[in-house]
Amino acid sequence: MIDKYARFRYQPCLPLGKDSRRVTASSEHINLSREAACEGIVLLKNNNSALPLKSGETIALFGKATIEYIKGGGGSGDVHCPYIRNIYEGFYKKEEAEKVYIYKPLVEFYRDYVRKESVNVLTQEQIDARWDIVNNMEFCQKRDDMTYDTFAAMHVKEAEVPDSLIVNASQNADTAIITLSRFSAEGVDRRPIPGDYYLSDLEMKLIDRCCDLFSKVIIVINSGAIIDCEYFADNDRIDAVIMAWQGGIEGGSSIADIMCGDKNPSGKLSDTIAKSYDAYPTKNDFWECFDHLDYSDDIYVGYRYFETIPTASEKVRYPFGFGLSYTDFKIGTPLVFEHSGNINIVVDVTNIGKVSGKEVIQVYHSAPQGLLGKPARVLSAFSKTRSLSPGETQTLYLSFTINSMSSFDDLGKIAESCYILEKGEYEFYIGTSVRDTIKADFTYRIDDNLVTEKCTKLMRPFKLSKRMLSDGSYEALPMGEPEYFYKSPESNTTKKPEQEIPFDKVDEEITMNEFISQLTIDELAYLVGGQAPTGVANTGCFGGLERLNIPAVPTADGPAGLRLEPKTGIPTTAWPCATALACTWNTELIEAVGAGGGAELRENNIGVWLAPAMNIHRDPLCGRNFEYYSEDPLLAGKCAAASIKGIQSQKAAVSLKHFACNNKEANRFACDSRISERALREIYLKGFEIAVKEADPWTIMSSYNLINGLHTSESYELLTGILRNEWGFNGMVVTDWGVKNRPVIEVKAGNDMKMHCGYPDELIEAINNGQLTRAELELCVGRILRMFTKLI
C-alpha cells in the first residue's frame, strides 16, 4: 500500500502532464504565461493610432531591455526559468512572419554592450558576500544604501548609444521603440531619483534625440512598478506608451504581440499614476523615519485620495482602472437595482470598433459623508468581457453586497468598533476607469444609520497622532500606552490512545486531537519550528517526525513562479509579476496561472508555496510592489482569491503573505506601521479578508514589520482576534523567514510555525516555568498537521 505522504517522504519523479510529460516549464505553461503577460499590458497613450505597428513597418529597438529584458523582480520572488525572451527575440518572430523589420545594427550594438558590461554585473558569490555584510550590519541607512547598490549592480546599466547610430537608425527605420527598464527587489525601497522613479538624463537625451529624428516614437516601460510618466505622457512628439510591467519568461514576446496587433491590449491600471512622486500623500512619512511609518493618510490611499481630497484630482496623470484598446466599446445604459441585500448591475458592452477585444467594466460607489467621512469613489465590483468581435455585444451581470459599502467606526462616532452604513444616499458609477464612468439612474437610500457588523476593539494605535479626513484636514487620534488582549485556550481533554497510532491514520482510526495527545512536549515544541529542506526545496520544511510518521513537507518561494535553485537543474515557469496579473482584471486567467504554478509545485513534491503576496501598494516606491497587486483592496483581494483557488486546486497549499502592512522594505524587520483601526480594516486587512472568506488559504505568512507597536507574529489580536475569531480562518500561520521575535509569544498569539527554524528549548523552558501551556502548543501543532491532511 502506498504511503499517503509518499511524495514528500520519497520525492518520486512523476511527471504530471499528458503522456507522462512534465508540466514544469512546459510549453502549455509558457504559453499561458505569455497570454497573461499580454493581458496585463496597459496601453497608456496611442496618438493617431501609432499602435499597432503597420504591416511591414521598420523598427529600431532602443534600450538595454532589447537584449536584457527584466522578467521579474529580485529576492525571494526571483524565478530561475529555462530562458528569458527579450524584446529583440519577441520582434524577431514577427520579422520571420514579415510583420515588421528590425534595424539590426542597433540590436548588435546592444548585444555587444550587454555582453561586455556583464562582467561588471555581480556574480552570485559577490552578491552572497554582500548579503553577509548587510545582514550583519545594524539597522541603519548604510545597510539600506548597500542593499540598493547591490541590486543596481545585478543588471547592466543603460547604454549610451552613439549619435551616429541613432542617426543611421532613423534613416533606416520608421519607428523608434524605446524601452525603459527598471529592477527592484525585496529588502530595499526604490528611490525618487533619476534612473529609478524618474527618468535618467541618459534616457531623456535618447528620447529627445529619437523625437528629433524619427517620425514615430513609442515608449515601452519594463518595470514591476510605476515610474514617472511626465516626460512622455504629454509630449506630442511621443506617439504611444505601453506599460509592459515585468512579464515573466515570454515578456519580450508579449510586447511584440501587443505592438504588432496580434493581441489587443485590455490591461487596466491597478494603481493611480500621478504627475509626480510628490503628489502621493505618503511621500513624507514614507521617508521620514527608519523605525516607524505613520499611516496618517488613513483610508485615503491611491484613487481614494486623488478622487476625494480637494485639488488632488489635478495631480493624476493616468487614473486607476485606465487603459486603452485598439478598438472602441460602447457601454450601454446600466440597469442598477437592489435585490436581497445586493446591488446588482446589468450592462451591455458592445465592440463598435474594427478589431476584436476585451473590456473591463468597473463599478464604483459613493457613500454619504455622514460623521465618518468617505472616499468619493470606492471600487465595488468589476468584470471583464470575453474577446468580443467587432459588432458583438456581451451583457455583464455584476453584484456586490450592500453591507460591503459599510465604514468602520473606530472612534465611536456612531457605534464603536462596528461597521456602519451611514444614513443617506449611495450612488453608483459604472465605467472603464475611476474617472470614465456613467452615474447610474438609481440611488440606494438609508434612512437611519445601520450597524452591519459588530467587531471587537483590536489593534488600536497608540502612537499615531493624527489621520486624514475626506476634506484633506486631519483629526487627532487618542494616544496612550499599549495594552494587548490575550485569552488562553482550554486544555485538550482527549484521552491518549492505548497503542501508538501513526499520523497517516488520522481521520481514519483516530481524531487529530487523539493523535496530538500522543506527542511529548519536546515533540510539540519541535513541530512548531521549521526543519531543514529536503528534495529540491530551499526554504525548509514543516513537520518531519519519524516516531509517529509525520512527513516533512517542503516549502518553496514564489509568487512569480516556483523558485528552485538553479543547481537543482529544474528550471520552472516565470509568470508575469503580480502587478501585471492584477492589471488583467481577469480573475479566471489569474486562477489558471495559479493552477499552473500549483501543478509545478506538486510535480516537484513541494507542499507549500510561499505565494501569493498581496500587500497594498500604498506608496509607489515600496521595493516589493512588483510582488503585490494593487492600491485597491477589492482588486487585490479578488486577485489573491483567484490565485489561491488555482493553486490549492492542485493540492498545494498557499502561504498568503505578508500579513499585514508590509508596505515598506527599508528596515522591514523592525519598522512599526502605525495605523488606525479603520484604515487597517477597510484597506490593509480588507484584501486578506476577501481572500480568506472567498478562497480559504491553507496557510498565511505573518509579516516582518510591527503594527501599532507589536510584531505581527506576536499579535494575538491580529492572528487570533481578527483572522480566526472574526473571519473564521481555520488554516495555519507561519512567520516570515528568520524573524527574531519571541517564540513563546508567537505561539500564544496563534502564529503556529516559526521559520526558517524553531526554538524548541525556549518553548520547553516556558512550559517548565509555567509561561506556556501544553494546550497552547497543541493548538498550533494541530493546525499545522491539519494543513498536511489537505495536501493528499
Q: CA-CA distance, 281 to 618, in Å (whole number)?
A: 9
Q: Which residue has the cell 459588530?
A: 454
Residues 290-328: b if buried by 16+ CB within 10 A, e if exposed: bebbbbbbbbbbbbbbbbbbeebeebbbbbbbbbbbbbe
Count CB-CB contacts under 10 A for residue 339. Answer: 8
Contact residue for ligand BGC among 301, 363, 606, 610 (CB under 6 A) = 610
**Max CA separation in the chain (angstroms):** 88
* Chain center to CA of 266: 19
The reply on whether position 78 binds ligand BGC by CB under 6 A is no
748 within 8 A of 486, measured Cβ to Cβ: yes
Q: Which residue has the cell 486531537?
A: 513
Closest to ligand BGC by CB, 714 or 736: 736
- Is 441 annotated as catalytic? no
CA nearest neighbour of 241 among 199, 283, 213: 199
CB of 468 to ligand BGC, least distance (A): 29
CB of 613 to ligand BGC, least distance (A): 6
Q: CA-CA distance, 781 to 527, in Å (whole number)?
A: 7
CA nearest neighbour of 341 among 399, 264, 297: 399
Q: CA-CA distance, 250 to 340, in Å (whole number)?
A: 45
Closest to ligand BGC by CB, 286 or 609: 609
Q: CA-CA distance, 232 to 332, in Å (whole number)?
A: 33
DSSP three-state, residue 785:
helix
36 within 8 A of 589, measured Cβ to Cβ: yes
User: Dihedrals φ, ψ of 632, to 5°?
Assistant: -110, 130
Closest to ligand BGC by CB, 78 or 677: 78
185 within 8 A of 149, measured Cβ to Cβ: no
Residue 534 CB-half CA count within 13 A? 20
> How distant, in Å, are the alpha carbons of 343, 626, 629, 679, 784 from that of 689?
20, 21, 15, 13, 21
CB of 639 to ligand BGC, least distance (A): 17
Kindly give the pairing relationship between strand 175-181 and strand 240-243. unpaired
Look up residue 759 and give its amino acid: Y
Write the Ramachandran bin of 30: left for phi over 0, alpha for psi from -120 to 50, otherwise beta: alpha
Residue 434 CB-half CA count within 13 A? 29
**Which residues pair with residue 46 across a beta bridge?**
240
CA nearest neighbour of 620 among 167, 317, 236, 190: 190
CB of 610 to ligand BGC, least distance (A): 4
Closest to ligand BGC by CB, 269 or 700: 700
Closest to ligand BGC by CB, 613 or 634: 613
Closest to ligand BGC by CB, 605 or 702: 702
Q: CA-CA distance, 93 to 86, in Å (whole number)?
A: 11
Closest to ligand BGC by CB, 61 or 653: 653
241 within 8 A of 229, measured Cβ to Cβ: yes
Q: CA-CA distance, 10 to 114, in Å (whole number)?
A: 43
Binding mask 164-203 for ligand BGC (x = CB under 6 A): ----------------------x-----------------
Closest to ligand BGC by CB, 76 or 667: 76
# binding residues, ligand BGC (CB under 6 A): 8
CB of 566 to ligand BGC, least distance (A): 16
Closest to ligand BGC by CB, 657 or 678: 657
CB of 682 to ligand BGC, least distance (A): 25
Binding mask 522-541 for ligand BGC (x = CB under 6 A): -----------------x--
Closest to ligand BGC by CB, 170 or 712: 712
Closest to ligand BGC by CB, 113 or 737: 737
Closest to ligand BGC by CB, 248 or 623: 623
Q: CA-CA distance, 188 to 173, in Å (whole number)?
A: 40
Q: CA-CA distance, 63 to 283, in Å (whole number)?
A: 29
CB of 627 to ligand BGC, least distance (A): 8
The reply on whether position 76 binds ligand BGC by CB under 6 A is yes
- Interaction residues for ligand BGC, span 539-598 (CB under 6 A): 539, 557
CA nearest neighbour of 640 among 598, 594, 597: 594
- Interaction residues for ligand BGC, span 316-375 (CB under 6 A): none
CB of 683 to ligand BGC, least distance (A): 21
Contact residue for ligand BGC among 71, 85, 657, 711 (CB under 6 A) = 657
- Strand residues in 617-735 grouped as ranges (E): 653-659, 672-674, 699-702, 706-707, 710-711, 732-734
CB of 667 to ligand BGC, least distance (A): 13
CB of 398 to ligand BGC, least distance (A): 33
CB of 652 to ligand BGC, least distance (A): 15
Catalytic residue among 504, 736, 752, 761: 736
543 within 8 A of 567, measured Cβ to Cβ: no
Residues 6+ apart with CB under 8 A from 710: 482, 484
CB of 731 to ligand BGC, least distance (A): 16
222 within 8 A of 13, measured Cβ to Cβ: no
Q: CA-CA distance, 292 to 516, in Å (whole number)?
A: 40
Closest to ligand BGC by CB, 23 or 611: 611
**Which residues pair with residue 707 across a beta bridge?**
673, 710
CA nearest neighbour of 639 among 654, 661, 622: 654
Binding mask 19-58 for ligand BGC (x = CB under 6 A): ----------------------------------------
- Interaction residues for ligand BGC, span 714-773 (CB under 6 A): 736-737
CB of 343 to ligand BGC, least distance (A): 36
**Positions that interact with ligand BGC (CB under 6 A):** 76, 186, 539, 557, 610, 657, 736-737
Which residues carry out catalysis? 736
